[in-house]
């Protein structure tokens, strides 16, 4: 149910950044470090429910130092993108899926869920005032980051009775500094991302905080991303630090870890599965052991591997590294299935191909 969409009232509207200022701020900055002129916000209290939907000038948040988000990490977030098409129009990719996942994540973290109608209205309102920030260069988009945070001052461990919804936006290009060049992945040693019954399926800050140290290990070993194995057996491939993982086999089938409750069910992941299946490819969601992956890469049974996510789109994987192995995928270059898939997905997202799946929403 979508309910009635609230209006996000514009509270103050200072002069937006000039075109020159925008261009200057966006010029080859690292992913997610440039922000637009406004925020969309709404407030929830137990008494009033969701209210005070508004657009504010971009600025710092004022939080009580006792806010539950600061002490116990009561937070959930999303990532989605707005794309500028060649005709200048702006389109979102499957925003309802992000609205639904935000609600599911909120449930897990005992936060009041934001109704889908409010989510959609916030995105539309922010894109209306920050329209000029949707970039148009190749491979660029406006990355939207909605979040819910517990704001009640309470050092007792219990759910906040006040929640703030904040939507920020950041013009972005490729997630990895080297663009879409193949990346290398490091198998996490001694660390896991999530356990059974934990928060692995929720998009919540703590999962990413927990990935930072193992990600640092990956970097120390010259790799771009960390790969996590399951916590119970330390055997099965789960996901990378911030994206899902796929393997393309010589027999034409494509494998990806099944969702078990400990991995994040990516919107790009499910879209990629649907696109591949629509092309007649067999996609198998299964347990994949690290041995199967490593040996498959080494003996050529696995010819390509890729990471996918809203931020990463579809990024080829060239190497799998751990203390006892270092294997190169295929010839170390981007695979043909991977790059065709990336093209197929981005053609839909940028309006270069018909939206046969019905995924795009014009703003
Ligand atoms: C996304 O892909 O949108 C994420 O939230 C992952 C993060 C690494 C940016």
pLDDT in tens, 147-171: 999 999 999 999 999 999 999 999 9
pLDDT, one tens digit per residue, over 287-296 is 999 999 999 9
Share of the chain above pLDDT 90, in %: 89
Please tell me the residue having the least CA distance from ligand 1 atom 5.
Answer: 79
pLDDT (mean) for 213-238: 97
Mean pLDDT of 301-315: 96
Q: Given pLDDT bands bounded at 50, 70 and 90, which one contains residue 328?
A: very high
Protein residue closest via CA to atom 6 of ligand 1: 242
Is 84 in contact with 134 (CB distance < 8 Å)? yes
- Render pLDDT for 41-60 as a digit per residue (tens, 0 to 9): 999 999 999 999 999 999 99
pLDDT tens for residues 63-79? Answer: 999 999 999 999 999 99
Residue 235 pLDDT: 97
pLDDT band at 19 (very low <50, low <70, confident <90, very high): confident
DSSP string, 222-282: T-SEEEEEPTTTS-BEEEESSSEEEEEETTS-EEEEPP-SSS---HHHHHHHHHHHHTT--
Cα–Cα distances in angstroms (integers) from residue 148 to residues 39, 47, 185, 214, in the given order: 13, 18, 31, 26
C-alpha distances out from residue 26 to 84, 142, 231, Å: 15, 11, 40
Is pLDDT at 35 greater than 90 in this prediction?
yes
| Burial of 324 per CB tally in 10 Å (0-12, 13-18, 19+) | exposed
Q: Which residues touch 15 (CB under 8 Å, ≥6 apart)?
A: none
Residue 2 has pLDDT above 60, yes or no: no
Nearest-atom number in ligand 1 for the CA of 79 is 3
Question: For ligand 1, what atom is nearest to the CA of residue 203?
Answer: 5
pLDDT, average across residues 179-194:
93
Q: Tell the burial category of 251 from Cβ atoms under 10 Å away from its Cβ (0-12, 13-18, 19+).
A: exposed
Question: How would residue 18 be classed by pLDDT, with cut points 50, 70 and 90?
Answer: confident
Most ligand 1 atoms within 8 A of CB, residue of 239, 242, 268, 345 to mutate: 242
- Residue 53 host element (H or E): strand 49-57
pLDDT of 177 higher than 80: no
Pocket of ligand 1 (CB under 6 A): 79, 242, 309-311
In the chain, where does DSSP find H-type helix?
A: 19-26, 68-72, 95-108, 116-129, 205-220, 267-278, 290-299, 336-349
* pTM for this prediction: 0.94
Average pLDDT value for residue range 189-201? 95
Q: How far, in Å, CA of 187 to CA of 238, rounded?
A: 11
């Amino acid at each position: 149910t979508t309910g009635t969409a609230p209006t996000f009232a514009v509270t103050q509207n200072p002069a937006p950044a000039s075109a020159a200022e925008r261009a200057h701020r966006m010029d080859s900055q690292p992913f997610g470090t440039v922000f637009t002129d406004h925020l969309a916000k709404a407030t929830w209290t137990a008494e009033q429910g969701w209210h005070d939907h508004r657009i504010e000038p971009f600025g710092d948040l004022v939080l009580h130092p006792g806010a539950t988000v600061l002490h116990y990490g009561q937070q959930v977030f999303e990532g989605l993108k707005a794309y500028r098409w060649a005709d200048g129009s702006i389109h979102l990719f499957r925003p309802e899926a992000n609205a639904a996942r935000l609600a599911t994540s909120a449930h897990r973290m005992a936060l009041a869920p934001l109704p889908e109608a409010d989510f959609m209205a916030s995105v539309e309102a922010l894109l209306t005032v920050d329209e000029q920030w949707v970039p148009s260069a190749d491979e660029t988009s406006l990355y939207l980051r909605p979040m819910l945070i517990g704001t009640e001052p309470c050092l007792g461990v219990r759910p906040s009775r006040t929640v703030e919804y904040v939507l920020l936006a950041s013009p972005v290009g490729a997630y990895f500094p080297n663009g879409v060049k193949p990346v290398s992945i490091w198998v996490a040693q001694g660390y896991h991302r999530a356990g059974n019954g934990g928060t692995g399926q929720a998009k919540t800050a703590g999962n990413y905080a927990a990935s930072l140290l193992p990600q640092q290990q990956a970097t120390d070993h010259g790799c771009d991303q960390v790969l996590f194995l399951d916590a119970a057996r330390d055997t099965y491939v789960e996901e990378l630090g911030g994206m899902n993982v796929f393997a393309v086999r010589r027999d034409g089938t494509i494998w990806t870890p099944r969702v078990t409750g400990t991995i994040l069910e990516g919107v790009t992941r499910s879209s990629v599965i649907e696109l591949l299946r629509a092309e007649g490819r067999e996609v198998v969601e299964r347990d994949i052991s690290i041995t199967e992956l490593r040996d498959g890469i080494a003996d050529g049974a696995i010819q390509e591997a890729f990471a996918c996510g809203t931020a990463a789109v579809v990024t080829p994987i060239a190497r799998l590294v751990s203390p006892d192995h270092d294997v190169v995928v295929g010839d170390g270059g981007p695979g043909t299935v991977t790059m065709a898939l990336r093209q197929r997905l981005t053609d839909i997202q940028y309006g270069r191909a018909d939206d046969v799946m019905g995924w795009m929403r014009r703003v």
